Amino acid sequence: MSVIGKQIKKYRVAKGITQEQLGQLVGVTTQAVSKWERGGTPDAELLPRLSQLLDVSIDVLFGREEQSFVSSITRKLRDMPIDDAYRFAFSICWAIEIGLLQDQSAPDEYMNSFLDHFELKMDKSQYFSKIMKDSGISTVRISPDFRYFFLMVEPKNSIKDHLADIDTLQKVFEIFADKKLLSIIFYMYSRLNTPVATSLISKSTGLSCAEVDRCMDRLCKNNLATKNVVATADGEINTYMFKQESSVLPLLCYADEITKREYRDFIWDLNRSKPLLK
């Protein structure tokens, strides 16, 4: 069997498509598909259609999977509508999570159907997947309409060596432990990235203008916001703009995860022999 024949059969079976169905979709006979899989080679003009139907790149059809995998994924995400790209990206993350279990007893067909089944049958429960091994850590939240993925490759040195000191980290947690600051953070992140006057923040959070300015001063010092003074007919006023800081939302998500009392551990593999922070 030729390499391309092996690849066509591999991905046809993974898709659950028969030789007859693939032939109909491509526009050839069942005998032609069978001939490919026994060692023949499709005509070059059929390769783009086969690639599309089997959801793989042409490079993969020729057996160059390892070299082309990353670039293939990049091209696929790049060419998708952005909403579809994020959904597809998460499906890749979920596949990574399943793969990191390294359950060699499960065949590819089972793993594919498992992913599809879980996507279709998920109920309203809060699901989490947690894998902690000496080589790294991964966690996935797979609730019906709220999903995220975290992956950390174990550093050569201790994880602790890469973190700021305790006093510095404490200052960050103090911000999120302050109810007034947290209410401002929630309000500011509910707005578009536009300057907001002290008076509007005060009206929206119930804090006095003096309290808002004190709180915003702390947020500015911690690089979460910037301050500008605007001259008006009634005098100068303070305006603030929140930085689109991508670390804040993950921090809130993981804080919420810690608070959960009722959830389902869909995957739980804590096969780790090293301490987390040695």
Structure-block tokens of residue 255: 């804080």
Which region, left, alpha or beta, applies to residue 276 given φ > 0 means left and ψ of -120 to 50 means alpha? alpha
Q: What are the residue ranges of helices labelled H in the chain?
A: 3-15, 19-26, 30-37, 47-54, 58-61, 65-78, 82-100, 108-121, 166-177, 179-189, 198-205, 209-221, 248-259
Report how far residue 128's alpha carbon sits from residue 260's, in angstroms, rounded to the nearest whole number: 11
Q: Is residue 267 part of a domain?
A: no
What letter would DSSP give residue 44? G
Sheet of 196-197, strands arranged across: 196-197, 235-242, 225-232
Q: Is 37 buried (19+), middle (13-18) or exposed (0-12) by CB count in 10 A?
A: buried
- The residue among 24, 51, 79 that closes a domain is 79
- Which residues lie closer than 8 Å to 216 by C-beta, 6 or more apart? 184, 198, 201, 225, 227, 238, 240
What is the CATH classification number for the domain harbouring 65?
1.10.260.40
Q: Based on the structure, what is the number of domains in the chain?
A: 2
Structure-token match 């203008």, residue found: 209
* Domain-located, residue 111: no
Evaluated on CA atoms 208, 209, 212, 214, the torsion sign reads: negative
Q: Judge whether 197 lies within some domain.
A: yes
- Rounded Cα distance, 126 and 260, in Å: 9
- pLDDT tens, residue by residue, 6-57: 899 988 998 889 999 999 999 999 999 999 999 888 998 999 999 888 888 8
The answer as to whether 230 is a domain residue is: yes
Q: Is 136 domain-assigned? A: no
pLDDT in tens, the chain (278 residues): 578 888 999 889 988 899 999 999 999 999 999 999 998 889 989 999 998 888 888 878 887 765 456 777 888 898 899 999 998 898 888 888 888 888 766 556 555 555 554 554 556 677 888 999 999 999 998 877 788 999 999 998 889 999 999 999 999 999 999 999 999 999 999 988 889 999 999 999 999 999 999 999 999 998 899 999 999 998 999 999 988 777 899 999 999 988 887 776 677 888 889 888 87
> Does some domain include residue 148?
no
Domain final residue pick, 79, 106, 125 = 79
Inside any domain, residue 257:
no
Domain that holds residue 8: 3-79
Q: What is the CATH number of the domain that holds 187?
A: 1.10.10.10
Which residue(s) pair with 197 in the sheet? Answer: 239
Question: Do the domain assignments include residue 16?
Answer: yes
Q: 162 Cβ partners below 8 Å, 6+ apart?
A: 155
- Helix (H) / strand (E) element for 150: namely strand 146-153
Q: Which of 54, 79, 104 is the last residue of a domain?
A: 79
Q: What pLDDT does 112 receive?
A: 59
The single-letter DSSP state of residue 104 is T
Q: Which residues contact 188 (CB under 8 A, 6 or more apart)?
A: 196, 201, 225, 240, 242
* Long-range contacts of the stretch 105-111 (C-beta < 8 A, 24+): 108/14, 109/13, 109/14
Average pLDDT over the chain reads 86
